Structure 1
Amino acid sequence: MESANLDMTNEKQEDTWISQLAGGLVHELKNPLSTIKMNLQLLEEEFMKPQNRKEERALKKIQTIINEMNELQNILDDFLRFSKSQTLECHPHSINKAVEEVLDFVEPEAFLNNIQIRKHFDPHLPLLAIDKNLLKQAVLNIVLNAIQAMPDGGELIVRTFANGNDYCIEITDTGYGIAKDKQDKIWEVYYSSKKKGTGLGLPTTMRIVKAHGGTIQLESEENKGTQFTIRLPKHRICKDHETLHSQG
């Protein structure tokens, strides 16, 4: 038993060390990238009114490099989120409120894509000891995938409810679904079916949920839609949660 506990402690220490190393590396890379991007944008301004074909070609190349820089920064941001996804700072929070904030954030994009958001929240769920920001990131990754899976519009249905020993967040879309042979692969780091996907979104979600002691269930059928269910264990209920509720 002591050996098992020691192994778990060593594993956590190793994860923390890797997260710190990755975070430091990303910051070291982002600083010069920001400087390069800023100078490219200044150069772009000088060529915004090209006088000849040579300057037109130069402007196009500069804009291409800026776009690639943006993609690289997105990859670094995703990698940083992935590396930090097991380091929790838990406090009493409402999962309803956390999910609501995510949906408020994506509502404009959903509207532009003709996607209707339907919310069904259980008002009786207690406060849970969660890392609110990380849990929001986990939900956001799923919701963004759902929106991208409905390019011609559809419905995004989000529910929270209690089920057995778990409190659940269920996210359902009416998009094109995930093929059976790809349903296991979506959790693999760097796997992506999207042209510009980093392949870190869903693996990050999985790490965050597991760090909370939870699980994720996937159900999907091609051309019908996909449903993700995040399950958080009831033992994360905050003690004296009724008092915490009354305090805000």
Structure 2
Amino acid sequence: MKRTRSLKHLLLIHELAFIGLIVLAGAAGVLGIRLWDDSSQESQRIHVLVQEIQQTRGDLYRQMKELFDAFFLADSTAQIEYDTYTISIRQHFEKLDALAEGEAEHAAINNLRASYTEFLELTRDIFRQPSRLSDESLNKTLNIDLESGIFQRYEDVAAEAERLLAAKQQELEQRLQDAKRTSITLFIIPIAFAILLLLFSRMFLLRALVRPIEGIVHATTEISAGRLEHKAPEAGAAELATLSRAINHMAEELAHSQEALIRSEKQAAMGLLVPMLAHNIRNPLASIRATAQVADSVELDRDTRESLEGIISSVDRLERWTGSLLAYLHPLKPQLSHSHLRQIVEGALVPLQHRVREKSLKLKLPSWQKQDDSLFTDEHLLEQALYNLLQNAVEAAPNQSVLEINVLMSAATVRLQLADRGPGMPFKPDPHAISPGPSTKRFGTGLGIPFAFKVCEALSGSVEFSEREGGGTLITLELPRRHHVI
């Protein structure tokens, strides 16, 4: 049987899948935001670095202007402004050192600082010893050494630093593009999984819930309409499969209860009808038999006497039929006593001796001396049941055949087997049949086997019928050696 999962387990998987999608979407969002935030901060840092380098260059231009103003325009405040720009540029370098990351950026900042330091050393000498410099030397220092040499080198170093930052900015933009594509991909994946989960949910609901519920509803409709043989499909979630099995079991129990009710109603109807019929039949039969016995005389001719004997025989058969029918319909109340199986079997065979001799049958009986045959049961009921079964076996057995009776005694049970060589049973007896089975004898009532079933059931035993190897019927009775009253 295919193992089904419980609805609780399936719903847990479904919920975990949704939680997984939420976590995946959240992780994609957090990762995208993190990448965007890191890239944004890096872009801001590079922008500030470029801005600081440009401000450093601007202050350097202004510082050089103050230097020219001091010597060519004789500006008395030029040196103060010069020192102010020196402090400002140093502050810019401190910011650059704080913002720089990696060896390349720090090396570029250090190169800028070294170039600026060279500028300061040269300009300090000009401010400290201006009288020692001639106009020609001063012009050479300001125009050639300072402007064309040191300042040009500073420009080159600053340009190199800006190119480095520009390359980093371009790399950052590429990273932003990659982060954008990654974020889009990470957002697409949960969406794709959500679509798959939606399709799975639809299939899951159809297969595990909707279709099984439709089958259960259809089954309950059929069963409520009286079609108890209809089965609910045991499919879908484990809970629904369990419910279907419970409905099917309920339908089977209802069918058995219905059969038992019908059987009880028929037996109740027969129980009301048969005693009245038996009473109305037995009274005329008694008169007919008495009349036939009185009329029978040795003085009558042979045909007349045979007719009277036939009347008496027919009356006896009808009497037995009504007696068996009444015994079958009434509840059996075992009267328990200590008995011996040999005594019961021989008692059942006594009324059949005449028929056994007529058919020249050979009886094969158990070896009673070799085993303990005592038991605690109702010997009269058991003897009557054995008589009915033996009578069937004698009637079915062909002339000059062997009728075997075997007994196997154990500590708790007794097994009795009757074996004949007749044509076999034309039908399989049913202990739960609603009505008596068909009789195989010309004037049979069909009550012998049902009565045997009823007796064995009352004595907590069982009867089984099977085909005998080589032809014939094998009847097996199994009874407890000590029947307990319930």
The reply to whether TM is greater than 0.5 is yes
Q: Counterpart in 1 of 2:287?
A: 35
The letter of the residue matching 2:389 is I
* Higher Rg of the two aligned structures: 2
Question: Does residue 71 in structure 1 map to residue 323 in structure 2?
Answer: no
More displaced 10-residue stretch of structure 1: 225-234 or 94-103: 94-103
> Does the aligned pair in 2 maintain the 1:119–1:157 contact within 8 Å?
yes
1:141 pairs, out of 380, 384, 388, with 388
| Equivalence for 1:151 | 398
1:117 maps to which residue? Answer: 363
The answer on whether the counterparts of 1:113 and 1:153 sit within 8 Å (CA) in structure 2 is yes
> Counterpart of 2:476?
229
Could you say if the C-alpha distance between residues 33 and 136 of structure 1 is closer, same or farther in structure 2, counting changes exceeding 3 Å?
same
C-alpha distance in 2 between matches for 1:171 and 1:43: 42
Q: Deviations over 1:116-137 (max 9, x none)?
A: 1111246433532211111111
**Mapping of 1:1-248 within 5 angstroms?**
26=278, 29-42=281-294, 48=300, 68-84=314-330, 86-121=332-367, 123-125=370-372, 127-162=374-409, 165-179=412-426, 182-184=427-429, 189-221=436-468, 224-236=471-483
Distance 1:119 1:142, change over 3 A: same
Per the alignment, in what secondary structure is the counterpart of residue 372 of structure 2?
coil
Please give the per-residue CA displacement for 1:151-196, whole angstroms capped at 9, x wherever unaligned: 32211111111358521111111222124xx123697515212221
8 Å CA contact retained: 2:377, 2:482? no
- Do 1:177 and 1:223's aligned partners in 2 also have CA atoms closer than 8 Å? no
Segment drifting more, 114-123 vs 167-176: 114-123
Instruction: State the distance in 1 between where 2:346 and 2:309 align.
Output: 37
Q: Which has the higher helix share?
A: 2
Q: Identify which of structures 1 and 2 has the higher relative contact order when contacts are C-alpha pairs closer than 8 Å and 6+ apart.
A: 1
SS in 2 for 1:120: coil
Check the 8 A contact 2:371/2:409 in 1, yes or no.
no
Q: Secondary structure at the match of 2:419?
A: strand
Q: Deviations over 1:21-47 (max 9, x none)?
A: 9668645642342023323554676x9
Counterpart CA distance in 2 for 1:49 and 1:108 is: 26
Q: Any conservation in 2 of the 1:177–1:222 contact (CA below 8 Å)?
A: no
Describe the SS at the equivalent of 2:398. Answer: coil
Contact 2:398 2:421 in 1 (8 A): no
Q: Deviations over 1:83-135 (max 9, x none)?
A: 45712211111122211332344334323312111112464335322111111
TM-score by length of 1: 0.69
1:27–1:197 distance in 2 versus 1, CA, 3 Å: same
Change (3 A) 1:49 1:222: same
Distance (whole Å) between structure 2 residues aligned to residue 125 and residue 59 of structure 1: 49
Q: How many angstroms apart in 1 are the aligned matches of 2:354 and 2:447?
A: 24
Percent of counterpart pairs with the same letter?
22
Letter in 2 for 1:37: R
| Correspondence for 1:240 | none
Note if contact 1:95-1:128 (Cα within 8 Å) is conserved in structure 2. Answer: yes
Partner of 1:4: none
Name the SS for the 2:384 alignment partner.
helix
Which sits farther off after the overlay, 60-69 or 146-155? 60-69
Q: TM-score, structure 2 length as denominator?
A: 0.38
Name which of structure 1's ranges 214-223 and 86-95 shifts more when overlaid on structure 2: 214-223
Change (3 A) 1:219 1:116: same
The residue type paired with residue 336 of structure 2 is C
How many positions carry a matched residue from both structures?
Answer: 215
Pick which of 92-101 and 211-220 moved more.
Answer: 92-101
CA contact (8 A) 1:170 1:230 kept: yes
> Contact 2:419 / 2:468 at 8 angstroms: preserved in 1?
no
Q: Does the CA-based 8 Å contact 1:85-1:204 persist in structure 2?
A: no
CA distance in 2, matches of 1:97, 1:20: 36
Q: For residues 222 and 24 of structure 1, do their structure 2 counterparts lie closer, same or farther at Cα, with a shift above 3 Å needed?
A: farther
- Whole-Å separation in 2 of the counterparts to 1:19 and 1:127: 35
Cα–Cα, structure 1 residues 118 and 63, in superposed 2: closer, same or farther, change >3 Å?
closer
Q: Which runs of 5+ in 2 are unaligned?
A: 1-266
The answer to whether the 8 Å contact 1:96/1:160 transfers is no
